[in-house]
Amino acid sequence: MAAIVSKYFIGTLKAEGISSANEVKSTLSSVCKDYVFQKEKGSKTGYEHYQICMNTKNSTTIFALKKKLVALNKKFEPIYLEPAKSHYAVEHYCSKSDDTFIDGTRVWSSPEYERKVLSKYNKYNNNLSKNNNSSEKVTFKMMDDYFNKNVSEKGVNFFVSPFSEYAWFFKAHRSFLN
């Protein structure tokens, strides 16, 4: 069976031995175009780990990606990786587990990724304000409330994708995302 080649990956990294989020960020920045991660604690076992979601700079296989990550940081040796279907799947994966994230470590993103998502959010907001379709406005209001609540609670460096819960809606409105 041929190895699966992808640009989108999700993974789990043991938190033990990792000194800080900056160590994870530094390693991911070397191989990823975009990434999101958060520290979590398993609800049953208490296992502390990072949920990591990546959009790599180049298409690659799991084996090649793991090899690159471990070469950059030996502490990434036990990382579990699997390909994701899309950036929507990646964003959803890292924002799905509200009950397991460790407070203060919710989600980080690369500055470029944060700007990209905020730009899409603002572009969509501007386009929607010109549209009189009431069902779109109701859906947007839900997304807007979600986005503003999460950003204001955690501050400027906190980021949760407003697209994760509404991926179905945005897939149907690609003109606003491209």
Q: What ranges do the domains of the chain cover?
A: 6-109, 111-177
Return d(Cα 35, Cα 32) in angstroms, integer.
Answer: 6
Strand order in the sheet with 108-109: 80-83, 6-14, 48-60, 32-41, 108-109
Q: What are 176's two structure tokens?
A: 């606003």
Q: What are 49's two structure tokens?
A: 């780990």
Provide the whole-model pTM.
0.63
CB distance 46 to 124 below 8 Å: no
Q: Which of left, alpha, beta for 93 (phi over 0: left; psi -120 to 50: alpha)?
A: alpha
**CATH class of the domain whose range is 6-109:** alpha beta
Q: Give the count of beta carbons closer than 10 Å to the beta carbon of residue 98.
A: 8
Computed on alpha carbons and rounded to an integer, the radius of gyration of the chain in Å comes to 17
pLDDT tens-place string over residues 96-134 = 555 676 665 555 566 767 677 667 667 766 766 666 555
pLDDT tens-place string over residues 43-83 = 889 999 998 888 899 999 999 999 999 999 999 998 999 98
**Bridge-based pairing state of the strands 6-14 and 108-109:** unpaired
> Is residue 144 scored above 90 in pLDDT?
no
CB distance 104 to 156 below 8 Å: no
